[in-house]
Amino acid sequence: MQDRGHLLTELRNPRSTHVDTMSTEEAFDLINAEDAAMVAAVAKVRAEVCQVIDMVYDAFSRGGRLIYVGAGTSGRLGVLDASECPPTFLTDPRMVQGIIAGGWDALRMAIEGAEDYAEHGAAAIDEKEVDDRDVVFGITTGGTTPYVHGAIERAKERGAKTVFFACVPADDVPDGADVSIRVLVGPEIVTGSTRLKAGTATKLVLNTITTVAMIKLGKVYQNLMVDVNTRANKKLVDRGTRMIQSVIDIDRQTARELLDASGGHVKTALVMHARNVDRALAERLLSEHLGRLAPILDAEKA
Q: Catalytic residues, which ones?
A: 84, 115
Strand order in the sheet with 96-100: 96-100, 66-70, 135-139, 161-166, 179-182
Are 140 and 172 spatial neighbours (Cβ–Cβ below 8 Å)?
Answer: no
Q: Measured between alpha carbons, how far is 195 from 197 in angstroms, rounded to an integer? A: 7
Question: What is residue 36's three-state secondary structure?
Answer: helix
Angle (CA) 143 145 148, round 5°: 100
Residue 86: burial class (beta carbons within 10 Å; 0-12, 13-18, 19+): middle
DSSP class of residue 276 equals T
Task: Give the type of residue at 156.
Answer: K
Q: Measured between alpha carbons, how far is 252 from 214 in angstroms, rounded to an integer? A: 28
**Which runs of E-coded beta strand occur in 171-219?**
179-182
Residues 6+ apart with CB under 8 A from 213: 53, 56, 57, 60, 66
Q: Measured between alpha carbons, how far is 215 from 293 in angstroms, rounded to an integer? A: 11
Task: Give the type of residue at 284.
Answer: R
Element (H, E) at 248: helix 234-248
Residues 6+ apart with CB under 8 A from 184: 8, 41, 44, 167, 168, 169
